Amino acid sequence: MRVVGQLAVVAVLAGAGFGGWYYFKSGAPGTAGAARAPAPAPIVEVASPQTDTVIERIEAVGTARANESIVIAAKQTGNIAKINFQEGQSVKAGMVLIELESRERAADTEGARAEISQARAAADDIRQQLDRARALRSSGNAPEARVDQLETMLRAAEGRIRQSESRLRAADARFDEYRISAPFDGKVGLRQVSLGALVQPGTQITTLDDVRTIKIDFSVPEQYLGQLKTGLSVIAVTPAYPGREFSGEVVAIDTRIDPTTRAVRLNAAFDNADGNLKPGMFLTVALAIATRQNAIIVPEDALVAEGARQFLFVVVDGKAIRREVKLGMRMRGRVEIVSGIAVSDTLIVRGLQRVRNNLPVTARPFKPEA
């Protein structure tokens, strides 16, 4: 009897379970055959792509240098007699910066000038005698031999004049080596010598830089070689002047490619009238290699990346349609679209997390954050 009772309990439980399952499948009373309500379409914010002018730039780092730069050094041995400049002074080409003791050289120059004066006086005397002899010869009162003699003497005197003038030029050249002049307009640097100091040939005295124009040397990958030309716009920035941009242009392109870096070296010139750029400064430069008008620009947040591919969602007939796009220049918060969408498209900008391809969406105007 005990076994029969246990079987009866099992049968009751099984019947209850089956009834519950059937109730669940059939639905509660009054809901039989009712369909589930569809999920609402996700709300997205949309906007039209914008058009703008895009300047394609290559970024690089460069070093500033003066337009012209030399080290002023002594050419002869001597003591410094005069210093005619102040450190940091702007000087003109030809200005005498340093004078060495040169009394011997001055004496050589004066001696050469005296020789020239004597030779010219002697030549003038011979020339007068020759003129009289020629006049007397025409009247038969002077022999031809006397005229020939005086002509020979005159040629010798003129030769002595040329010889003396040559010695004067040599003396002047030696004297000039004791006076050191600026070869071009510029600014002198720190003075390395003092008054009365003994200098030897090659002793550094100061530096001279033409900084009215600053040149920046930088390199770009050889893949851009076909787009490079002189006159391209260059923007330079430096941490020394936050928020300021310096504008210049390419003035020279190297004729060789560096075989190690596979880059070509460029030189850009910048006006430096205010003197803020200094030779040796480290700057970041942006070289403009192309300008595109009416380029399609979209917010960077609208992009959906899948590996190396980029996609945008556009709204067509109330549905989100995914399109693969090709990117151009990236800017701060924006990106250029080279292909894949048109300006007339309606672009999904916000709410992309709930969007699925070819499914309905509820579009609202995009409201940029303040």
Q: Express as a percent the part of the chain with pLDDT over 70.
A: 84
- The predicted-structure confidence for 32-58, as pLDDT tens digits, reads as follows 444 566 778 888 889 999 898 888 888
H/E element, 112:
helix 103-139
Find the angle CA(247)-CA(248)-CA(251) to the nearest 5 degrees: 170
**What is the domain count for the chain?**
3
* Residue 109 lies in domain: 103-176
Picking from 239, 259, 292, the residue at the C-terminal end of a domain is 292
- The predicted-structure confidence for 332-357, as pLDDT tens digits, reads as follows 888 999 999 999 999 999 888 888 99
pLDDT at 72: 92
- The predicted-structure confidence for 261-311, as pLDDT tens digits, reads as follows 999 999 999 999 888 999 999 999 999 888 888 899 999 889 999 888 999
Q: What is the 3-state secondary structure (H, E, C) of 244-256?
A: CCEEEEEEEEEEE
Q: Are residues 315 and 280 part of one domain? A: no
Q: Are residues 284 and 346 part of one domain? A: no
Report residue 364 as tokens.
């609202």
- The predicted-structure confidence for 119-137, as pLDDT tens digits, reads as follows 788 888 888 887 787 777 7
Per-residue pLDDT band for 79 (boundaries 50, 70, 90) equals: confident
- The predicted-structure confidence for 172-222, as pLDDT tens digits, reads as follows 666 677 788 999 999 999 999 999 888 888 899 999 999 999 999 999 999
In a domain, 149, yes or no: yes
Q: Judging by beta carbons within 10 Å of its beta carbon (0-12, 13-18, 19+), is residue 16 exposed, middle or buried? A: exposed
Per-residue pLDDT band for 312 (boundaries 50, 70, 90) equals: very high
Q: How far apart are CA 71 and CA 192, in angstroms?
A: 11
Q: Are residues 301 and 283 part of one domain? A: no
Closest CA to 225 of 258, 272, 186, 268: 258
Task: Give the other-Cβ count within 10 Å of 98's Cβ.
Answer: 24
Report residue 160 as tokens.
């002595």
Per-residue pLDDT band for 105 (boundaries 50, 70, 90) equals: low
Per-residue pLDDT band for 8 (boundaries 50, 70, 90) equals: very low
- The predicted-structure confidence for 177-187, as pLDDT tens digits, reads as follows 778 899 999 99
In a domain, 10, yes or no: no
The HSE-up count of residue 310 (CA atoms within 13 Å, CB side) is: 16
Picking from 242, 262, 292, the residue at the C-terminal end of a domain is 292
Q: Are residues 308 and 276 part of one domain? A: no
pTM score of the predicted model: 0.57
In a domain, 21, yes or no: no
- Would you give the end-to-end CA distance of the chain in angstroms? 83
Residues 6+ apart with CB under 8 A from 320: 44, 313, 314, 348, 355, 356, 357, 358, 359, 360, 361
pLDDT at 133: 78
Picking from 292, 311, 343, the residue at the C-terminal end of a domain is 292
Query: Which CATH number characterizes residue 109's domain?
Result: 1.10.287.470
Task: Give the other-Cβ count within 10 Å of 231's Cβ.
Answer: 7
